Structure formats: structure tokens, C-alpha cells
Structure 1
Amino acid sequence: MTWTSPSSQAPYRQLRRPTTDRMVAGVASGLGRYFDVDPTLVRVVFAVATLFTAGAALLAYPVMWFLMPEEPADAPAWPQPAQGPPPR
């Protein structure tokens, strides 16, 4: 069995609204970062879902805006640069 120390693992993903890459409130940008897709794709999917659900998906946006915490001002840039193995 292989065991890795917690320090060698990448930090877990957090669903947060970024302060820099946003158009309205950062919901689509935060979802894009979390799922590792382009935020524009998330916005398009959101618009199409709004059309197909007769506007019900539009109600989800303010709910997510309220529930998703905002990213701290001192958060690292995204995407984080690839890190090599930890020093020994």
C-alpha cells in the first residue's frame, strides 16, 4: 500500500466567486474554475438552460451568488502554476 503525505498532495478545489475574472457576480467564472472549463462555456450553458427551462435556471443564479463565498483578496492566481515535487 502506498501512502503519500498530505503536503505532497495538491490543495483541494474550492467553489468560490473570484474577484478578478467576473462579468456580473463571478458565479460562472467560479463554476468554470471549479470544473476546469472555460467560464464562457459555463455562461453559454447557463443561457441555453434558461431558455429550455422557461427561465427557471435564471432563478438559480442569484441563489448561487448568495451561497458561493467570495474568493479572498490574497488568494493565489488561477490557474495555479504547476509545481514540481516538494523539496526534500
Structure 2
Amino acid sequence: MKRLFRSSDKKIAGVCGGISQYINPELDPVIIRAGYLILTLFNPLMLLVYFILAMVLPDANCETV
């Protein structure tokens, strides 16, 4: 089963990198980051979504049960 994690390929918290790995492991995280930036310019509430995801998503390096 696929799980959503924060990526070790980080610029800020690894959320966009984790989303790109969840969608397709070969997808470049820059595409997700650019799309997220465009969405944030039109809807600043996306910043709150990003920081909530940064707090809730586990790190990719942590062990899960």
C-alpha cells in the first residue's frame, strides 16, 4: 500500500517532494513545487495547508509499524 510521507528531498519541509513521490516516483518534485506556488498565489490559505501537512506527515526516514 502506498503511503504519503515527507520526502528527504527537501527545500522547506519535504511536503511537495513527498507528494511527487506518492503520485509517481519518477515525477520531478519541481513540478509539484511550481504548481503549489501558483496555487498559493491565488489562494494564500494554501500556506496553512502546507504547514499542517508538514506537521502531520511522518518523515520518510522514520520506521512505521
What TM-score does the superposition give when structure 1 sets the normalisation length?
0.63
| 4+ runs deviating over 4 angstroms | none
Asked if 1:29 corresponds to 2:17, the answer is yes
Q: Which has the larger radius of gyration?
A: 1
Tell me the residue number matched to 2:31: 41
Aligned length: 61
Q: Show the 5 A alignment for 1:1-88.
A: 12-19=1-8, 21-36=9-24, 37-53=27-43, 55-72=44-61
Task: Compute the TM-score of the two structures, normalised by the length of structure 2.
Answer: 0.82
Cα distance, 1:73 vs. partner? 5.7
Identity %: 30
Deviation at 1:52, TM superposition (A): 1.1
Structure 2: state its 5+ residue gaps.
none
More helix by share: 2
Structure 1 unmatched runs, 5+: 1-11, 75-88
